[in-house]
Amino acid sequence: MTQTPQTRHDAAPTLPAQYQPGEVEQRRYEQWVSAGYFRADASSDRPPFSIVIPPPNVTGSLHVGHALDHTIQDSLIRRKRMQGFEALWLPGMDHAGIATQNVVERQLAAQGLSRHDLGRDKFVERVWQWKAESGGAILGQMRRLGDSVDWDRERFTMDEGLSRAVQTVFKRLYDEGLIYQAERIINWCPRCLTALSDIEVEHSDDEGELVSIRYGDGPNAIVVATTRAETMLGDTAVAVHPDDERYAHLVGTEVELPLTGRRIPIVADAHVDPAFGTGAVKVTPAHDPNDFEIGQRHGLPNLAVMDERGVITVHGPFEGLDRFEARPAIVDALREQGRIVAEKRPYVHAVGHCSRCKTTVEPRLSMQWFVNTGPLAKAAGDAVRDGRVKIEPAELAKRYFAWVDNMHDWCISRQLWWGHRIPVWYGPNGEVVCVGPDEAPPSGEGWRQDEDVLDTWFSSGLWPISTLGWPESTPDLAKFYPTSVLVTGYDILFFWVARMMMFGLYAMDGKQPFNVVALHGMVRDQYGKKMSKSFGNVVDPLDWIERFGADATRFTLARGANPGSDVPVSEEWCQGSRNFCNKLWNATRFALMNGATVAGELPDVTELSTVDRWILSRLQHVIAEVDEQFEAYEFAKVCDTLYHFAWDDVCDWYVELTKPTLAAGGPAAEATRRVLGHVLDNLLRLLHPVIPFVTEELWTALTQDETVMRAAWPSADGGLVDDAAEAEVGMLQRVVTEVRRFRSDQGLKPGQRVTARLAGLADAGIGAHEPLIRSLARLDQAGDEFSATATVAVAGGVTVELDTRGTIDVAAERARLEKDRAAALREAEQCRGKLGNAAFVEKAPEAVVAKIQTRLQAAEADLVRISAALEALPA
Buried residues in 22-53 as b, exposed as e (16+ CB within 10 A): eebbeebbeebbeeebbebebeeeeebbbbbb
The rounded distance, in Å, linking the Cα atoms of 572 and 578 is 10
Closest CA to 699 of 683, 714, 715, 712: 683
- Spell out the residues 6+ positions from residue 549 whose beta carbon is closer than 8 angstroms to its own: 21, 22, 25, 578, 581, 693, 694
Alpha carbon 236 to chain centroid, angstroms: 46
Q: Coil, strand, or helix at residue 277?
A: coil
Please work out, in degrees rounded to the nearest 5, the angle formed at the alpha carbon of residue 499 by the alpha carbons of 493 and 503: 145
DSSP state of 494: I
Half-sphere exposure of 623 (CA within 13 A, CB side): 22
The rounded distance, in Å, linking the Cα atoms of 498 and 396 is 13
Closest CA to 211 of 342, 333, 339: 342
Residue type, 7: T
529 known ligand binder? no
Q: Which residues pair with 827 in a beta bridge?
A: none
Neighbours of 719 (CB within 10 A): 9
Q: Which residues pair with 800 in a beta bridge?
A: 758, 792
| Backbone φ and ψ of 86, nearest 5° | -85, 95
The pairing of strands 237-240 and 280-283 is antiparallel
Helix (H) or strand (E) holding 335: helix 323-336
The rounded distance, in Å, linking the Cα atoms of 625 and 621 is 6
Alpha carbon 62 to chain centroid, angstroms: 13
The rounded distance, in Å, linking the Cα atoms of 304 and 284 is 9
N- to C-terminal Cα separation, the chain = 36
Distances (CA, A) of 701 to 31, 581, 605: 15, 15, 27
CB 65 within 8 A of CB 522: yes
Q: Which residues pair with 223 in a beta bridge?
A: 214
The rounded distance, in Å, linking the Cα atoms of 470 and 459 is 12
Q: Coil, strand, or helix at residue 508?
A: coil
Instruction: Report cis status (omega within 30 of 0) of the bond before 423.
Output: no
Q: Coil, strand, or helix at residue 580?
A: helix
The C-alpha R_g of the chain, in whole angstroms, comes to: 35
How does DSSP assign 685-697, residue by residue? HHHTTTSHHHHHH
Q: Is 841 exposed, middle or buried (0-12, 13-18, 19+ CB in 10 A)?
A: middle
Q: Which residues pair with 759 in a beta bridge?
A: 799
Show binding-site residues: 533
Would you list which residues are annotated within the binding site for ATP? 533
